[in-house]
A and B are shown apart, each in its own frame.
Chain A
């Protein structure tokens, strides 16, 4: 048994050394910026912890009003937002929601691939928040930037 473990361990070290993405890991990436936006019915400030609970589907109302979210699915902004406020990678977050779906507890969140689609949805639905690159913000009468507080 012990010899099997040692031999298998050596094989695995060689296996993973070959698979390990050395060049990709060596690259440094600049962290993209983002802002949290929401319908004007949502308060102008939200605590960081509430942002996390909203995007995990655990907080669906605030002060008696419904609150929800949509996802902007541009990978760099998406990953940065999740890391900052939900403490998950995109894969971890996707798997979290797949667990919710396949246990019947919730449905997949709405996701949009364009800034315009996100803004139009937020503008037309009370209680909805999302996140975008600050360079893509377009003025909508019913959308404002939300300040996240500790």
Chain B
């Protein structure tokens, strides 16, 4: 109720012509620029709960962010963004640091930033929490699953970046990153493993992360190609509580592994029309120290489009496929384990209508038809249904 009230206050303030530093105004020569956004949504689904208790309808769906940028000199700036989000049990409006870094741009072709930096996991990961920057409410779950958001959102480390003009061959942009991160037991990624069968997970450390991103703005106007690849080690710590019939007591959990990934992206913009497609693969190996023979493989892709019909109306659609095991797309291993095959995949068709009520306010309506449950929590005791229809509505105010 407080969050809804907050949104209503900001809507009224904006409608009354509040004195926010609007995007249209010439900003003063201030030392600090401040921007932000507030989003509130509603979710309703039929067969399965999606992120929240959506079969009952849920307002546990919002984001609030504040961004501070300080230009210290012509080539040096610093900034931070604090973010609060809620999506069912994810986030629960805990205010945290989304990113914070110092950035020195020595030349157009070479800059360095250090601190908490966003990971360029696909075209949209760096801005995934900012609803008004895209057509759809939810990004394709194949690449941008909410269950793994906290693993791939940002790292503590350094990034080298730059842009090279290639004359008649377009422009080449690059970014190289190195760092690590810790994910606490509160994060959604841990939930399927946590509190089941006496297991308590305490932490997930993602270490020795290094990735490279190359982006080519081709000579074909509006066509951009990108590849991101990288590798990291992961380590899970926790405790397994033995059942009484086995004598009780505790055993430590210490799982490790190493993953490598590749994401290939392409998008094309022609005036009001935008097309995008991405494919990714993640390979996991048991050895933390060195990536050797992979023992698990995830794969996914999506294709989408959006069209700006008028200044106030935009429509979009995408189709997405995700496979929790790219070597078992038909789900044979799940069937052998006594579970339905559709747990191996999640296919999602989404349609969105976006209304822009001025420069600061958007409203979106979105429908999803999902086949499969690879991104939904599943266990022997709780097997989700195969098909899910999800309706989402969301409003965002930004300044």
User: Could you tell me which A residues sit within 8 Å of B by CB distance?
Assistant: 1, 4-5, 8, 12, 15-16, 19-21, 24, 49-50, 53, 58-61, 66, 70, 73, 83, 87-89, 91-92, 94-95, 98-99, 101-105, 107-108, 110-113, 117
**What 0/1 pattern do residues 14 to 27 of B give for CB contact below 8 A with A?**
00000000011111
- CB contacts under 8 Å to A, within B112-142, are 118, 126-127, 130, 132-133
Whole-angstrom distance from the CB of B63 to the nearest CB of chain A? 11
Which residues of B approach A to under 8 Å, CB–CB? 23-27, 33, 35, 37, 65, 67, 69, 71, 74, 77, 79-81, 99-101, 103, 105, 107-108, 118, 126-127, 130, 132-133, 163, 165, 167, 171, 173, 221-222, 269, 271-272, 274, 308-311, 313, 315, 349, 351, 353, 356, 359, 367, 369, 371, 387, 389, 398
Could you list 8 A-B pairs, sorted by A, with CB under 8 Å?
A49-B171, A91-B308, A92-B308, A95-B133, A99-B126, A103-B118, A104-B67, A111-B24
Complex partner residue of A73 from B24, B99, B269, CB under 8 angstroms? B24
Q: Which of A8, A12, A102 contacts B67 (CB 8 A)?
A: A102
Q: Is the CB of B65 within 8 A of A108?
A: no
**Interface of chain B, helix or strand or loop or mixed?**
strand
- The residues of B that contact A12 with a CB separation of less than 8 Å are 351
Please give the distance in Å from B69's CB to the nearest CB on chain A: 5
List, in ascending order, chain A residues with CB within 8 A of B126's CB. 99, 103
Which listed residue (A58, A94, A111, A117) contacts B171, Cβ 8 A? A58
Q: How far is the CA of A49 from the CA of B218 in the complex (A)?
A: 12
State whether B349 touches A102 (Cβ < 8 A).
no
Q: Are B222 and A61 in contact, with the CB atoms below 8 A?
A: no
- Assess the B35–A21 pair: CB atoms within 8 A: no
The reply to whether A102 and B309 contact each other, CB–CB distance below 8 Å, is no
Q: Can you name the residue of chain B whose Cβ is closest to the Cβ of A88?
A: B269
**Which single member of B71, B101, B133, B353 contacts A102 (CB below 8 Å)?**
B133
A20 touches B165 (CB 8 A): no
Q: How far is the CA of A5 from the CA of B317 in the complex (A)?
A: 13
Q: Which 4 A-B pairs have the closest CB atoms?
A: A104-B79, A58-B163, A21-B310, A103-B126
Q: In the bound complex, what is the Cα–Cα distance between A20 and B80 (angstroms)? A: 40
Q: Is the CB of B311 within 8 A of A91?
A: yes
